[in-house]
Chains A and B, each alone.
Chain A
Amino acid sequence: MTSKEYKTITDIKGPLVFLEKTEPVAYGEIVTIRLSDGSMKNGQVLDTSDDAVIVQVFEGTEAIDRQAGVKFLGDVFKLPVSRDLVGRILDGAGRPRDGGPDIVAEEKADIIGAAINPYSRQSPHDFIQTGVSAIDCCTTLVRGQKLPIFSASGLPHNDIALQIARQAKLKDSDEEFIVVFCAMGITAEEYNFFRTDLERTGALENAVLFVNLADDPAVERLITPRLALTAAEYLAFEHDYHVLVIYTDMTNYCDSLRQIGAAREEVPGRRGYPGYMYTDLAMLYERAGIVKGKKGSITQFPILTMPGDDITHPIPDLSGYITEGQIVISRELHQAGIYPPINVLPSLSRLMGGCIGEKTTRDDHKKVSDQMYAAYAEGRELRGLVAIVGEDALNERDLQLLKFSDIFEDKFLRQDRDEDRTIDETLDLCWNLMSSIDEKYLVRLDRELIDKYGQHTE
């Protein structure tokens, strides 16, 4: 509607541009800024009133001066979506990055995304077999879940994410996922790693990539995941695809959020992150799920690196309160040469309870998983004790649990990068490993299961 160009910039600060006296501008409206050299930048209205407007510029405010022309496009940010998105590589603002043609829109979708009515959701209950024992047995992934990887710098979270993307399938089905990959501030090298692997396995044809690299504008990162999720929603709910969204690295996203908050002189919350970060993250993570009457689904696999390996840092902390569990990567296991170095103890899948058991995985899954977990937890604790008093001070039970914790890491956790174990193989392996512990100490297993699956030799 307003195609007028304003030259009323008063202040420029960080990623923000302040204008005065315009026609009424809508909150959230999209803005283009024409620089004196003719180049264009894009932005979005963050605050609007009769007297002043604040615009957040996605590409950064470099080279903008007070003579720059600002146009309000009369609409909120929309992504052109189409079935043709599949197989494409786009940049962090949704423009082609692969040299291909522009996306011909079947429709334009608002990237903010509305909340799914909880009443219209369908509870996720389809077991996804990732082929990774630690995940399948202990932190089972469910279709429609949002399950982040909590990692830290220098750990092989990318390998794990890719292995899952490659191997994930419904049990006894070949149905494939469409992968929507969203890169936020990762290095070109990491990006190449992902792209090469997706190419190698042919997955790229069934993927959409949104890429904002470390040297791309930081503010753009705030829209990249929204674009990715908008594409995912379109593919899942309009075209019945099962979509797996991998986004990395959430930590970069949150840092961009902090940058905007600081530039607006907002009252900071913990560690300088804005007070609304919980709500903001929820508006991304909550765009996972299944809705009644639609065939498709969105499963999210966000990756975040915990600053200083600290799980109580606001980013993992707030994420953990929103996501349905987490997979925690451990430096200690990584250093011990174990891949995948998943620490099952702080890891969790909240939706696991409803998707495992006789009908979906196997009748012993729940109890086996509890028992494996409990024995390993106790075994790990005993390691600390042994370091002080030596093994001689342990009783027979403790000694068995201590040994079990080593077996658990060596045989159960450890697997190859392309080793794809079925859930039956994983559970049989568990019984095999648990046979090193006396039956009477396996209090979480009941008689019938021990008789049915137990591998104890009399």
Chain B
Amino acid sequence: MSNNEGVIYRISGPVVTATGIDARMYEVVRVGHEKLMGEVIEIHGEQSVIQVYEDTSGIRPGEPVLSTGQTLSVQLGPGLLTSIYDGIQRPLQTLEEVMGVFITRGVDADGLDLEKKWDFVATASAGDEVVGGQIIGTVQETETITHKIMVPPKSSGTIKSIDSGEFTVTETVCTLDDGTEIQMMQEWPVRHPRPYTQKYAPDTPLVTGMRILDFLFPLAKGGAAGIPGPFGSGKTVTQQSLAKYSDAQLVVYIGCGERGNEMTEVLDEFPGLIDPNTGKPLMNRTVMIANTSNMPVAAREASVYTGITIAEYFRDQGYDVALMADSTSRWAEAMREISSRLEEMPGEEGYPAYLSSRLAEFYERAGRVETLNGDDGSVTVIGAVSPPGGDISEPVSQGTLRIVKVFWGLDAGLARKRHFPAINWLNSYSLYPQSLNQWFRDNIASDFPEVRTEISALLKVEAELQEIVQLVGSDALPIDQQLTLEVARMIREYFLQQNGFDPVDAYSGVEQQYAMAKAILTFQDEAKKAMAAGARLQDVVNVPARTELMRARFAEGYLESIGGLVDDMVGEITGTVEAN
């Protein structure tokens, strides 16, 4: 006989110990008279150790603890998109209505609006055999996204009845012959990955519109990337750019333990932004989770799971979903904080010994899969890491790098030179080019991989030459190497640097990226030719048309104008031979 009511024995910050309940691990419990939400994270004989998602000040030993029999779950169904949640899927808007501008405690809120009626269109019919994950109907949730209603993963059978019409998410829309009733809303425990049939190898890039990422270090749809960087190196700006411009069909953005004002900026800015891929408001495809650094630490720990479960749910509908987690270090710190309250034996730097396995489990929930209904969907995970002092030898960075296939290393030195995005091209890497090359050849240009190789080779040569320059000055180099330095400077200033705040420059299509890379190589070839014919390096470098070519990227329609600008540049470079 299990007992579902007990009492508090001890309180230490967010960790509460209760006696008298027979709880299961990760079961959700309600703590104290105010019924604060918590989760069982350890069991010692009679005592259950609970992490509480709200502030515990003023709670006393002896107050009641109720077990709910549920594990921490999210509500999945129409109404997720455009929502803004805290770490445990309470809509921030509802919280404001109930508690005012400050987040107090003891308020429970549904993740989905249970009153709202949605227009359900049945796509299956009575008599159809259905299995878990199969789509039985649709709801046009936002202008751009059709929400597909699926049979819950564990149900199957023959449809007895199904109706189109206006329903709330909790009303039954479909009944199976075994009596199972299917509603539009499903619940799913956040710490369990949702099932799929099989994982595929990624073969399509996630186009982000950021030149250094797409061109040099591409990420595949269904892949995982880590962005470590010290503070001030542009992690958040990079993550936000990705959320705005990447060509995923849906975006889940988790602000995990980050700044309140920054989250607000996102919340203010996103509704006004237009998705460059569909021309519709970006918010239509976005779900946001905002658990700022001063909100309860246990909810911060849960926020990444809440986010990835929502991402998986849309993946199961056949969508390409991108998930940004900013920052996974704050998540790891939440684990550390709770682990230390539990007096667990610490691993490296006080982090719990299970840190790397938790990180691995999380990133492993990324992937391109065959869904249960035979469709193709993906979750791409991009995790920001905030290493103390920018030193990536620390456990969170290392744990992340062991799993992800793409590493975008942010560099404080570059940020200090106002080189943005401050991604270091020498130590960043992507393991996807091999699997993506075919896509680039088919869709952009047949020599795309070769152009990429040439550009990155130039950057490597530059790094070597810079070492010599540091010792002897650039004038001491032979003239062809001086030209290489100029070409590399052009790559850095014209190609790699991108102004995330400039309306035009913030997004570069892959075709434009290719055209710009080709323009740089054209400059190199023409300059070599001209100099062989007697032109001076200074004259070649300073032709006004080259400056124009570089400046014009801030103007609309650059992809159309670039050809003409390159021709002008070639003309002027040829002219420098005669001037001599």
Contacts and interface: CB of A to CB of B under 8 A. Distances in A.
Interface of A: 24-29, 46-50, 75-76, 110, 112-124, 144-145, 266-270, 274-276, 278-279, 282-283, 286-289, 291-294, 311-314, 317-318, 320-326, 345-346, 348, 350-351, 353-354, 366, 370, 373-374, 377-378, 384-385, 388-389, 393-395, 398, 440, 443, 446-447
A411 B178 CA distance: 83
Among B262, B264, B295, B542, find the residue whose CB has the most chain A CB atoms closer than 10 A: B264
Contacts of A321: 231, 386
A342 B236 CA distance: 25
B57 A286 contact: no
B476 interface: yes
Interface string B28-58: 0000000000000000000000000001111
B155 interface: no
Given A28-B57, A267-B350, A395-B474, A117 B102 contact: yes
Nearest to A446: B551
B286 to A, nearest CB: 14
A322 B416 CA distance: 19
B547 A440 contact: yes
A369 to B, nearest CB: 9
B337 interface: yes
B350 A268 contact: yes
Contacts of B102: 113-117
Given A266-B340, A275-B340, A317-B389, A388 B346 contact: no
A377 B262 contact: no
Interface in B357-389: 386, 388-389
Contact of B264 (A46, A122, A267, A395): A122
B399 interface: no
Given A116-B101, A275-B336, A374-B418, A283 B294 contact: yes
Interface string B330-347: 100110110010010010
Interface stretch (B59-67, B402-410, B433-441): B59-67
11 contacts: A27-B60, A28-B57, A114-B55, A123-B268, A275-B340, A282-B294, A311-B389, A353-B501, A389-B472, A393-B473, A446-B554
B314 to A, nearest CB: 22
> Interface size class for chain B?
35 or more
A368 B264 CA distance: 27
A144 B259 CA distance: 13
A57 to B, nearest CB: 18
B268 A50 contact: no
Contacts of B333: 275, 278-279
Given A48-B10, A50-B9, A393-B476, A314 B388 contact: yes
A446 B505 CA distance: 14
B292 A325 contact: no
A116 to B, nearest CB: 6
Given A50-B9, A269-B336, A270-B388, A286 B61 contact: no
Contact of B103 (A28, A117, A287, A366): A117
Contacts of B476: 393
A50 B473 contact: no
A118 B336 contact: no
Nearest to B7: A50
A29 B261 CA distance: 31
Nearest to B269: A123
Interface string B230-251: 1110000000000000000000
Contact of B293 (A267, A279, A398): A279
A320 to B, nearest CB: 4
A48 B391 contact: no
A76 B473 contact: no
A181 B472 CA distance: 52
